[in-house]
Structure 1
Amino acid sequence: MRKIVITGGAGFAGSHIVDEACQKYPDARVVVLDKMTYAGDVRNISHHVFSNRVQLLVGDVADLDLCRRVVKGACLVIHAAAESHVDNSFGNSLEFTRTNVLGTHALIEACRQERVPKVVHVSTDEVYGEVMSGAAAEDDVLRPTNPYSSSKAAAEMILRGYIQSYHEPIVIIRANNLYGIRQFPEKIIPRFICHLLTGRRLPLHGNGSNRRHYLSTRDFARAVLFVAEQGVVGETYNIGTTEEYTNLEMAELVCKHFGRSVDQLVDFVPDRPFNDARYSISWSKLQGMGWKPQHSLREDLGMLVDWYRDNLERYTELFGTPEVQAITQTLAMLATSGAAAELKVTT
């Protein structure tokens, strides 16, 4: 590998892909393209940026000219940039369409024009919609139910057109809910942990019966590079885990770690306009190729709590300390203006 481009690489999932790529391909040049929205944080990859291991470019994936410049000469492009928080998609659905659909289209067109030999697109298990029993396989019909999952399904349709019409070397992955360090505390696990660390109560949608599977982001990142190497062009691969919890069970798990009773800490709040009861995917296809998860949430929970305790200042006012807030605002301005800039860090 000479050059690897990772979009959304300063975000939660993307930064773990960056970690894995840097470790797996020590001689490769790694380039991150990130818009640096609220969920992106330079500290997620600062250890790579400071050492000149990673080049961070700030810009919008929906900018075709920028994408062409970024992917030029790349051996591999991993597209992890996305608006991903379902709650936000109900109030800001057009932004989800712009980033997740137009952004994907612009990137893949840039990859086509620059003849990138392989593209891995990060989708989601939510494109299958509710799976009340059993598990969805890769060739099942997509039935998205909210603006977020609909935008991800739409992006996949565009990619399918490029695979069929242009024979573009694209591989699609769909993963379970992710957990791990550096996840922005809008998602259930870091949100519950941060609430308990700051003496707050736990908000729980509806009656807490919605079920989700939880995959370590370290296992996810390893699977992404595994598929990049061994995945067949045009194929889709589910990345899954056996760990399944209701939201209430998740609250109980976190409370138990803190030595607290869930009955005394949970506030049941109004549910989303629509909240899928359950997601479940079959990942036997990837397992048959030799991949399987190595981590479990129950074993990793203590590590997560320790990390959020040590890094709680990041989220004091959502963006962390005033210094970090200033950096974030500057990066956001650059992205909004359509400019792209390499982040210059001095020590």
Structure 2
Amino acid sequence: MRTRSSSNFNSRRDRCRAAPTPRWLAWGTRSTPVSRMSIVVTGASGYLGRYVTELLTDQGVPPVALGRSDRPGFFTCRRTGMTAPLASFMTDAIGVVHLAGQLVRDPTAGVEAYFDANVALTDQVALAAVEAGVPIVVHASSRLVYPSTLTEAAREDRDARPDTPYGLSKSWAEDVLRVRTMDTRTSAVSLRIGQVTGGDHAGIGVIRSFLQQAEQTRTVRINGRGAALRDIVHVQDVARATMQALEYRGDWLAINVGGVAPVSIAQIAHAVAECAGVPGENVVHKETTAEDLSCYALDSERARAVLGWHATTSLNSIVAEVMAARDG
């Protein structure tokens, strides 16, 4: 496991280790003793995957971390090197955490750029889990299943209508999981996750951009008023939500996983400037002909009600932690 320089991360990890044992740890399956049970994790080597696998290991359940093989329909266990059909890894599983997928790389790409990694792979995972009778599949979806035209925090049962090819692929993946698990013994959750950052990684969004500006030019530039809203959530908070979702039992359900509170682009810029020691007068607004008023805020009340989860890491704490990791 990679060593992280942030003391904030270590303190959160220590608190997690001291937390009560999750209920799923004592469940197993009818044919699997607790000593043999496993949690299958796809995308385990990714940013979120590293945190999830660490939490699982801390709970005494070594994850079965899978990567795709060159052979169609086959997967490789990163720990043992075993390559086999996906179903072979599900035998003793009491849960599947499906994190693998294609992130946005080219904003101009069509849905075909995401179909295999986000939709077809989810179908394979869901089918294998159902056929093996795995009790729960937790799927990492995205805030981008919601459109940018919303004017208030998105709700799971009201607002899912993606307006990007990537968002469409994640929405289709949710539908695949819902249909595959319908009327089966397998429960399913799709976590619609906000903009993930924190730890030793600034993520791929606006925080990283502002940090680079602050370090290179000692100036932070905001396009327009910076009124667009984002939901910034710490990767450790998302990992906790994923762990708690393993306890869910019931029909497929979408659950938002957002930060402590939605924040504007301008708020993010000022938080980065403050942490980087950039004077307030060096946070400047650039005129733009197309003001960004997009609202990617999430209503996370369902996560609180169903999972007993809420985010705990504020924007300022996230930025300070990322800066400490970069400096270290």
The TM tier, using the shorter chain, reads: 0.7 to 0.9
Q: Structure 1 residue 279: deviation in Å?
A: 1.7
Look up the SS of the partner of 1:294 in the other structure: coil
* 2:276 is equivalent to residue 258 of structure 1: yes
Cα 1:285–1:218 shift into 2, 3 Å: same
Q: Distance in 2 between matches of 1:107 and 1:263?
A: 51
* 2:238 is equivalent to residue 220 of structure 1: yes
With normalisation by structure 2, the TM-score equals 0.74
Look up the SS of the partner of 1:134 in the other structure: coil
Partner in structure 1 of residue 155 of structure 2: 137
Look up the SS of the partner of 1:170 in the other structure: strand
Partner in structure 2 of residue 150 of structure 1: 168
2:45 corresponds to which of 10, 20, 31: 10
Alignment of 1:240-279 (within 5 A): 240-261=258-279, 264=282, 277-279=294-296
Cα 1:189–1:229 shift into 2, 3 Å: same
Q: Structure 1 residue 30: deviation in Å?
A: 1.0
Cα 1:111–1:235 shift into 2, 3 Å: same
Structure 1 residues without counterparts, runs of 5 or longer: 37-53, 60-64, 311-347
Deviation readout 1:166-208 (Å, 9 max, x if unpaired): 4532222212222212436532223432443455866766764
Cα 1:227–1:203 shift into 2, 3 Å: same
Q: Is the contact between residue 222 and residue 283 of structure 2 (CA under 8 Å) also seen in structure 1?
A: no
Partner in structure 1 of residue 257 of structure 2: 239
Q: Structure 1 residue 72: deviation in Å?
A: 3.5
2:297 corresponds to which of 273, 280, 293: 280
Partner in structure 2 of residue 91 of structure 1: 109
Partner in structure 1 of residue 10 of structure 2: none
Cα 1:141–1:295 shift into 2, 3 Å: closer
Q: CA RMSD in A?
A: 3.3
Q: Distance in 2 between matches of 1:229 and 1:288?
A: 13
Q: Structure 1 residue 233: deviation in Å?
A: 3.9
Q: Distance in 2 between matches of 1:271 and 1:82?
A: 34
Q: Is the contact between residue 226 and residue 266 of structure 2 (CA under 8 Å) also seen in structure 1?
A: yes
Structure 2 residues without counterparts, runs of 5 or longer: 1-24, 26-36, 70-77
Q: Distance in 2 between matches of 1:68 and 1:270?
A: 52
Partner in structure 2 of residue 340 of structure 1: none
Cα 1:268–1:108 shift into 2, 3 Å: farther
Q: Distance in 2 between matches of 1:143 and 1:167?
A: 29
Between stretches 161-170 and 200-209, larger displacement belongs to 200-209
Structure 1 letter corresponding to 2:103: S
Alignment of 1:76-225 (within 5 A): 76-85=95-104, 88-91=106-109, 93-130=111-148, 132-164=150-182, 166=184, 168-183=186-201, 186-199=204-217, 208-225=226-243
Alignment of 1:48-67 (within 5 A): 55=79, 66-67=85-86
Q: Distance in 2 between matches of 1:269 and 1:94?
A: 35
Q: Is the contact between residue 241 and residue 293 of structure 1 (CA under 8 Å) also seen in structure 2?
A: yes
Which has the higher relative contact order, 1 or 2, with Cα contacts under 8 A spaced 6 or more apart? Answer: 1
Q: Is the contact between residue 141 and residue 190 of structure 2 (CA under 8 Å) also seen in structure 1?
A: yes
What percentage of aligned pairs have identical amino acids? 22
Cα 1:102–1:253 shift into 2, 3 Å: same
